[in-house]
Amino acid sequence: MTAPRRGNLVTLALLAPSLLSAILLLAIPILIVIAFSFAEQDTYGGAKFGFTLTSYRELFQAIYLPIFLNSLQLAVVSTVICLLVGYPIAYFIALRAGRYAGLLLALLLIPFWIDFIVRMSAWMVLLGRNGTINSALVGLGVIEQPIRMIGTYPAVLVGMLYAFLPTTVLPIYAALSGLDGRLLEAADDLGATPLQSFWRITFPLSLPGVMAAILFVFVPAMGVYAIPVLLGGGKSIILGNLIVQLFLDFRNIPLGAAVSVVLLAISSVIIVCYMRVLRSVEEARV
């Protein structure tokens, strides 16, 4: 056996477990969902395999448009908030925290060992009418009556920020921690103000991290389900809720599958755009 062929076989053997699980747990389920989206629906909630575009036709009715817009808006707003809060944190940990950087990163990640639903329920306790925040504010005399937070849009945004903050901070931190300090010293020597060197050196070099952060927040935020239900009172329906409603409440498997396929398509387009932009950023740097 020649060396290169042997090398290929070794590569294949090493890749086999992940390749196999990717096919079994990712590709096949997605193909099943796609097949269901073209299936027919019978009166009592069964799905008959076949090829019909009924579900897609139904999906593009005016009634579902607000749901797409709601989801898009929530994803955009959440991404912007996560970046505004996450960037300074990543900057501090990467460039200012010194030997405490590891500790800070650990503190950021430890809460994520706890189950997601439990963490969101904790926010329900914090934000409740008799919750920690209201009690503290009333106790301090800031407000007279407890204010309503659960069941509002800002409460949803707080939940989104909390859920997606680590996925914002980590890629930006990774990009910033590789920053060559001598570049900043050089800028300083050449008379750049701190703000100038931030905008012309630090920020452009952190862009790949920022873009990864956008991707990591925006894509899952489009399909989020539990946060609007638990913290927003389930009043404004977004794609994640629509999929649950179609599958579980309406037993309309084909339509639910069609919504999932459209969501998947939107996410894929975003990922392709991300990779294009990333490439052009990296080429510009060379």
Partner 1 sequence: MKNWKALLASVSLIAFTSGASAAELNIYAWSGEVPQEIVDDFAKETGITVTFDTYDSNETMMAKLSAGASGYDLIEPSQYTVQVLAKQGLLQELDHAKIPNIGNLGAPFKNVSFDPGQKWSVPYIWGTTGLAYNEDCVKTPPTSWKALWDPQYEGRIYMLDNMLAAYIAGLQVNGFDAGTTKAEEIEKATQSLIEQKKVLGGYNSTNYGDLLATGEACLVQGWNGSIAQVMATNPKVKYVIPEEGGSMWIDGFAIPKSAKNVEEAYKFIDYIMRPDVAAKAADLSKSATVIDKAKELLPKEVVENAAIYPPEAALMKADFILDVGDATKLYQDGWTKVKTAQ
Give the residues lining the site for partner 1 (CB under 8 A).
43-46, 63-64, 66-67, 70, 128-130, 148, 150-152, 232-237, 241, 245, 247-253
In whole angstroms, how close is the CB of 198 to partner 1 at the nearest point? 40
Identify whether the C-beta of residue 59 lies closer than 8 Å to the C-beta of residue 262: yes
In whole angstroms, how close is the CB of 140 to partner 1 at the nearest point? 20
In whole angstroms, how close is the CB of 271 to partner 1 at the nearest point? 27
119 vs 251 by CB, closer to partner 1? 251
231 Cβ contact partners less than 8 Å away, ≥ 6 residues apart? 120, 123, 124, 127, 150, 151, 155, 156, 158, 159
Residue type for position 271 = I
159 vs 171 by CB, closer to partner 1? 159
In whole angstroms, how close is the CB of 234 to partner 1 at the nearest point? 4
In whole angstroms, how close is the CB of 89 to partner 1 at the nearest point? 31
122 vs 150 by CB, closer to partner 1? 150
**C-alpha span between 124 and 98 (Å, rounded):** 35
Identify whether the C-beta of residue 263 lies closer than 8 Å to the C-beta of residue 72: no
**C-alpha span between 250 and 236 (Å, rounded):** 18
In whole angstroms, how close is the CB of 249 to partner 1 at the nearest point? 5
Q: Is 233 left (phi over 0), alpha (psi -120 to 50) or beta?
A: left
Identify whether the C-beta of residue 132 lies closer than 8 Å to the C-beta of residue 126: yes
67 vs 172 by CB, closer to partner 1? 67
Identify whether the C-beta of residue 170 lies closer than 8 Å to the C-beta of residue 89: no
Chain-centroid distance of CA 191 in Å reads 40
55 vs 197 by CB, closer to partner 1? 55
